[in-house]
Amino acid sequence: ILNVEQSPQSLHVQEGDSTNFTCSFPSSNFYALHWYRWETAKSPEALFVMTLNGDEKKKGRISATLNTKEGYSYLYIKGSQPEDSATYLCASSTGANNLFFGTGTRLTVIP
Amino acid sequence: GAGVSQSPRYKVTKRGQDVALRCDPISGHVSLYWYRQALGQGPEFLTYFNYEAQQDKSGLPNDRFSAERPEGSISTLTIQRTEQRDSAMYRCASSLGASGGIYEQYFGPGTRLTVT
């Protein structure tokens, strides 16, 4: 079992603000890092999968970076909108296909 | 195309009964995963399959839990002699490939199990 930690647990931001949150994972035996967006009453949806140290991925106003040597990933949201309100989950893999998820960061964007 | 489907969506059962939860993955997806998700928490890994072979069942809580995927497509998670602590959302996911977790997973809507 991998210990994947996310911080903060929850976050409130004003519409238009930019924000970021952190996922920490064991750097030993690292293989892949996933970010998922999870809206209440829906299924988690994949945002990014990253494997290489220094990877940066972007989808619209959302981007993510990966540091495998120190075991962390940041998710950034630029110009937050109310529709960005969701729980953002990260998950790490050691190469055995199973993912270990963190408990998520619950983002609320206030109009 | 159709996404991952699960049935039933809701299941209420009495303690001691057996339940079977079904997952129908995206057609052509090699890997299938089962997770349990407590309220407000991230998914907790239970087990996964590549094709019909169960690769890892280390996350199954005890021997009352079992899973199968006999033809490499639909999977069933069975919980025998259910207990109240088994109450949770059970989610299934599938992915295109089986290469160490580099493929994104597509999640189903989940089955909400309540044991009374």
Query: Residue A22, SS3?
Result: strand
Please report the pLDDT score of residue B38 as a whole number: 87
Which residues of chain B does A55 touch, with a Cβ-Cβ cutoff of 8 Å? none
Instruction: For residue B101, give the chain A residue with the closest CA.
Output: A97
**What's chain B's average pLDDT?**
93
Q: Are A108 and A84 in contact (CB under 8 A)?
A: no
Please report the pLDDT score of residue B97 as a whole number: 83
Q: Cα(A73)–Cα(A35) distance, rounded to whole angstroms?
A: 9
Please report the pLDDT score of residue B29 as a whole number: 93
Please report the pLDDT score of residue A29 as a whole number: 83
Confidence of residue B1 (pLDDT cuts 50, 70, 90): low
Please report the pLDDT score of residue A99 as a whole number: 85
Task: Measure Cα distances from A20 to A108, B28, B57, B91 in Å.
Answer: 13, 36, 34, 27
Please report the pLDDT score of residue B100 as a whole number: 65
Interface check A2 vs B, CB under 8 A: no
**More reliable by pLDDT, B5 or B38:** B5
Query: Residue A83, SS3?
Result: helix
Instruction: For residue A40, give the chain B residue with the closest CA.
Output: B40
In the block, which residue shows the tokens 């120190």? Answer: A70
Confidence of residue A94 (pLDDT cuts 50, 70, 90): confident
A to B CB pairs, distance under 8 Å = 75
Query: pLDDT, tens digit, for every residue of B35-71?
Result: 999 887 889 999 999 999 998 888 999 999 999 999 9
Please report the pLDDT score of residue B17 as a whole number: 98
Which residues of chain B does A99 touch, with a Cβ-Cβ cutoff of 8 Å? 33, 43, 45, 101, 105
Query: pLDDT, tens digit, for every residue of A28-84?
Result: 888 999 999 999 888 999 999 999 999 999 999 999 999 999 999 999 999 999 999
Structure tokens at A53: 């140290």
Q: Are B26 and B3 in contact (CB under 8 A)?
A: yes
Query: Residue B84, SS3?
Result: helix
Which is it for the CA torsion A28, B101, B90, A46, positive or negative?
positive
Please give, rounded to a whole number of angstroms, the shortest distance from the CA of B5 to a CA of chain A: 11
Please report the pLDDT score of residue A10 as a whole number: 95
In this complex, do A49 and B104 lie within 8 Å of one another by their Cβ atoms?
yes
Query: pLDDT, tens digit, for every residue of A8-39?
Result: 999 999 999 999 999 999 998 889 999 999 99
**More reliable by pLDDT, A85 or A2:** A85
